[in-house]
Amino acid sequence: GENVEQHPSTLSVQEGDSAVIKCTYSDSASNYFPWYKQELGKGPQLIIDIRSNVGEKKDQRIAVTLNKTAKHFSLHITETQPEDSAVYFCAAPISSGSAMQLTFGSGTQLTVLP
């Protein structure tokens, strides 16, 4: 099955700086890579995703890059703001029949310091 490793486990940045979180995956057949943001007391919320036919995707201050050869993908947050503070999870699909089962990374606690 899929193994997803996520680094770092904690990350502190100054407001306005950039934050980068990296994940590696093991299954070369994986073709969908979502990122989730989990705020305290809430469920994970999808913030951006990328499919394997593109190398980069941007949505305002958030971007995700994918390197299929190296089997890693990264989340980039620019001009960080205090409300970006949360736990971020990457995920990759487990190879199976028709369902999109996701294996999650261990999470990164991002703290944006004012």
Partner 1 sequence: DAGVIQSPRHEVTEMGQEVTLRCKPISGHDYLFWYRQTMMRGLELLIYFNNNVPIDDSGMPEDRFSAKMPNASFSTLKIQPSEPRDSAVYFCASSLANGVGYTFGSGTRLTVV
Q: Tell me how far, at minimum, the Cβ of 3 lies from partner 1, in Å.
A: 13
Pair 100, 32: CB distance under 8 Å: yes
Q: In angstroms, rounded to a whole number, what is the distance separating the alpha carbons of residues 111 and 17?
A: 11
Tell me which of 11, 104, 109, 111 binds partner 1, using CB under 8 A.
104
Q: How far apart are the first and last CA of the chain?
A: 41
Can residue 46 be called a binding residue for partner 1 (CB under 8 A)?
A: yes
Structure token digits, residue 61: 């201050």
Q: Does position 10 bind partner 1 by CB under 8 A?
A: no
Q: How far is the CB of 55 from partner 1 (least distance, A)?
A: 20
Residue 83's φ and ψ, nearest 5 degrees, are -70, -5
Nearer to partner 1, 78 or 103 (CB): 103
Site string for partner 1, 58-97 (x = CB under 8 A): -------------------------------x---x--xx
111 forms beta bridges with 12
Q: Does 106 bind partner 1 (CB under 8 A)?
A: yes
Give the number of other CB atoms < 10 A from CB of residue 37: 20
**In this chain, which of 14, 43, 53, 69 binds partner 1, going by CB under 8 A?**
43
Quick one: the chain helix, strand, coil %, rounded to 5?
Answer: 5, 55, 40
* Positions that interact with partner 1 (CB under 8 A): 32, 34, 36, 41-46, 89, 93, 96-107
